[in-house]
């Protein structure tokens, strides 16, 4: 086991970050119990706000969580982003000020929450997963978006995301984002996440191609471990992306009054992208399965080659052993034993027989 771990550490192919789950703490608890199920870290939570309208833009950091409720404006849109959900007290404060249901807060604190979309009062809530590469490590992080009439609250597990382009568009008033409501901001954030899926997929596709070339050249055990790591990653990606298809499909079918008809058109395009991602993941799944077959075939062929060589060597030595066995018998009257050239003749016969068999195997292309 120790040797296997050393091999895995030496491979490092887009490995998944390991998270310590605290799901056991939820067992037997009442519904709505607020328990963070991720790995507790000693990092301060950061609350940032982007307040904008068609003609106005402002960005700042909140000093206190209690100040967030002041962003329920009517003449502007506020994007409130919480980096870090490990501080349950801050989540409670946000929930109290925005009148969020305890079941909703429980889902936010659950890092294993399945992607879904729900309505809680006047709010539309979307849960899904972000995937991005950091130093060749595949990181899957939960994100929760709460859409209100003139605001959007995003909850992230840790600081750092893939929304820099969205922030730049808001700051520079590029395109339609500053002219539309908070529902379009919801689309923009989800679109950024899905677009980044393509970036991750391209990188994994390149690495699978390199791995395929290696498998045709070698059948080292390290390659099998590497292949197994990719299989695990694809399983986790599949688990994160598949439910998102249903989420986006609901958002584009006019099921929620808080999303305008105009914005629904953009969710239809996002749905197409989600389907494309799912098809790519299925392709990866088949590719990994095929590569495993290639590896096993390579191992089998290598074993067959070894067995063939050993069999040919044994076959060559069978008649030689027969001759040596005959003249090794302890009979008193064996004419060749007293012959001056008996020993040399026996060697000559054995060499000729072995050489003849080698020539025969060469003609048959067995060697």
Quick one: 307-363 is in which CATH superfamily? Magnesium transport protein CorA, transmembrane region (1.20.58.340)
Per-residue pLDDT at 350:
86
- The domain segmentation of the chain, as residue ranges, is 2-297, 307-363
Whole-number Å distance between alpha carbons of 298 and 117:
47
The pair of structure tokens assigned to 122 is: 């006047």
Per-residue pLDDT at 323:
83
Global pTM reads: 0.78
| H-assigned helices in the chain | 2-11, 88-97, 102-109, 164-172, 182-217, 221-251, 261-326, 342-363
Quick one: 2-297 is in which CATH superfamily? CorA soluble domain-like (3.30.460.20)
Residue 186's alpha-carbon distances to 148, 154, 323, 330, in angstroms, are: 10, 9, 88, 97
* pLDDT beneath 50, residues of the chain: 1-11, 17-18
**Segment 154-174, tens digit of pLDDT:** 999 888 788 999 999 998 877
């Amino acid at each position: 086991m120790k040797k296997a771990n050393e091999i895995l550490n030496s491979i490092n192919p887009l490995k998944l970050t390991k998270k310590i789950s605290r799901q056991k703490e939820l067992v037997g608890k009442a519904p709505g119990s607020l328990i963070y199920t991720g790995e507790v870290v000693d990092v301060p939570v950061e609350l940032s706000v982007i307040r904008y309208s068609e003609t106005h833009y402002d960005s700042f950091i909140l000093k206190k969580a209690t100040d967030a409720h002041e962003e329920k404006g009517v003449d502007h849109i506020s994007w409130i982003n919480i980096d870090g959900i490990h501080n349950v007290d801050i989540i409670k404060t946000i929930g109290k000020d925005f009148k969020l249901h305890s079941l909703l807060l429980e889902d936010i604190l659950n890092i294993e929450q399945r992607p879904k979309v729900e309505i809680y009062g006047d709010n539309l809530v979307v849960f899904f997963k972000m995937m991005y590469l950091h130093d060749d490590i595949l990181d899957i992080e939960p994100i929760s978006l709460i859409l209100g009439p003139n605001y959007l609250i995003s909850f992230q597990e840790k600081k750092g995301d893939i929304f820099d382009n969205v922030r730049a568009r808001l700051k520079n008033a590029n395109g339609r984002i500053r002219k539309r409501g908070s529902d379009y901001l919801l689309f923009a954030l989800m679109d950024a996440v899905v677009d980044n899926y393509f970036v991750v997929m391209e990188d994994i596709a390149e690495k699978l191609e390199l791995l395929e070339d290696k498998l045709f050249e070698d059948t080292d055990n390290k390659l099998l471990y590497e292949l197994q790591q990719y299989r695990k990653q694809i399983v986790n990606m599949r688990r994160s992306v598949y439910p998102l298809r249903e989420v986006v499909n609901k958002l584009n079918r006019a099921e929620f009054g808080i999303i305008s008809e105009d914005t629904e058109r953009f969710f239809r395009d996002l749905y197409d992208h989600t389907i494309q991602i799912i098809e790519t993941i299925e392709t990866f799944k088949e590719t990994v399965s095929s590569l495993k077959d290639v590896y096993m075939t390579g191992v089998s062929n290598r074993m067959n080659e070894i067995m063939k060589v050993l069999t040919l060597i044994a076959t060559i030595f069978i008649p030689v052993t027969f001759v040596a066995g005959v003249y090794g018998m302890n009979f008193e009257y064996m004419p060749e034993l007293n012959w001056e050239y008996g020993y040399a003749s026996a060697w000559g016969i054995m060499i000729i027989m072995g050489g003849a068999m080698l020539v025969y195997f060469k003609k048959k292309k067995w060697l």
